[in-house]
Amino acid sequence: MARRKKIYEGKAKTLYEGPEPGTLVQYFKDDATAFNAEKRDVIEGKGVLNNRLSEYFMTGLQQIGVPTHFLKRINMREQLIRAVEIIPLEVIVRNYAAGSMAKRLGMEEGTPLPRPMVEFSYKNDDLGDPLVPEEYIISFGWASQQDLDDMVALALRVNDFLSGVMYAVGIKLVDFKIEIGRLYEGDFQRLIVADEISPDSCRLWDLETNERLDKDVFRRDLGNLADAYTEVARRLGVMPTNSAPLGKPTLIN
Ligand code: TMP
């Protein structure tokens, strides 16, 4: 890795220059943070699990026609991705009240919502990723109305896919966050799913017991985070191994 140029280091992942123009290598760290990095720890194996789980979800999304940045997994902790311009928003979809929504509105966690609700936070750690209305997004030029419509459509497709995949293994998708990037192709640009999809960025509850199988285990000191993620991977049949990635790289069409 030392031979590669570091492009960006975030809290849970590092991006390196890719082997070809327009690509990056995304490295998954074991670091876990919460509450804007006020709480932090190193959870051995988390990066390996999230690399595999994000590969699994992104590959599935591509197979149903939802474009993502994922190209192929390189090894236990790294994947090759398309370089995109990240829109500085966290796109959150909620099916049940939990977390900040439950707190803000005084709702009981787990209350079903009348429909999937999409909200946007401005990605800025210093400000604690504040929730922003669509009018701010358009007025400040972070995205156009067309972008917003496309982002909501993309987020809802991801929601339907992930909800179904999770339901099939006895897990309720309570909410999740995605990040979306702009991919430039000549004169055109389109929006694709970027960053990661993993139990770091979703709320996953056991369908029967409501046991938490996501980063809330760490945020709220509910047990062993790696065990929770391993359980998600086990149910999905995605177990980390030392084997080389299977199959051909999945290319965005
Ligand atoms: P929230 O209820 O704390 O607003 O979180 C909503 C969803 O977004 C939840 O699935 C966790 C995820 N999330 C992130 O991925 N990153 C973050 O920084 C935060 C605050 C939440």
The enclosing domain of 11 has a CATH number of 3.30.200.20
Q: Is 202 helix (H, G, I), strand (E, B) or coil?
A: strand
Question: Could you tell me if residue 169 is inside a domain?
Answer: yes
* Strand pairing class (171-185; 85-86): antiparallel
- Domains identified in the chain, total number: 2
pTM of this structure:
0.94
Regarding whether 70 and 12 lie in a shared domain, the answer is: yes
Regarding whether 96 and 21 lie in a shared domain, the answer is: no
Regarding whether 163 and 72 lie in a shared domain, the answer is: no
One-letter identity of residue 88: P
Report DSSP state, residue 163: H
Q: Tokens in use for 37?
A: 């990095």
Regarding whether 164 and 130 lie in a shared domain, the answer is: yes
pLDDT per residue as tens, the chain (253 positions) = 457 899 999 999 999 999 999 999 999 999 999 999 999 999 999 999 999 999 999 999 999 999 999 999 999 999 999 999 999 999 999 999 999 999 999 999 999 999 999 999 999 999 999 999 999 999 999 999 999 999 999 999 999 999 999 999 999 999 999 999 999 998 999 999 999 999 999 999 999 999 999 999 999 999 999 999 999 999 999 976 554 444 444 444 4
Regarding whether 118 and 40 lie in a shared domain, the answer is: no
Atom of ligand 1 nearest to the CA of 102: 2
**Ligand 1 center to 201 CA (angstroms):** 6
**Ligand 1 center to 176 CA (angstroms):** 7
Report DSSP state, residue 112: E
Regarding whether 147 and 130 lie in a shared domain, the answer is: yes
**pLDDT score recorded for residue 247:** 40
Question: Could you tell me if residue 183 is inside a domain?
Answer: yes
Report DSSP state, residue 126: G
Regarding whether 118 and 101 lie in a shared domain, the answer is: yes
Question: Could you tell me if residue 211 is inside a domain?
Answer: no
Q: Tokens in use for 69?
A: 């940045």
Q: Is the beta carbon of 13 within 6 A of some atom in ligand 1? A: no
**pLDDT score recorded for residue 6:** 98
- The owner of tokens 């199988």 is 213
Q: Tokens in use for 169?
A: 């293994």
Regarding whether 182 and 99 lie in a shared domain, the answer is: yes
**How far is Cα 130 from Cα 111, in angstroms, rounded to an integer?**
23
Q: For ligand 1, atom 15, which residue shows the shortest CA distance?
A: 201
Regarding whether 72 and 91 lie in a shared domain, the answer is: no
**pLDDT score recorded for residue 16:** 98
| Residue 117 domain boundaries | 85-206
**Ligand 1 center to 129 CA (angstroms):** 10
Q: Are 99 and 215 in contact (CB under 8 A)?
A: no
Give 108's Cβ-side CA count (13 Å radius).
Answer: 3
Atom of ligand 1 nearest to the CA of 131: 4
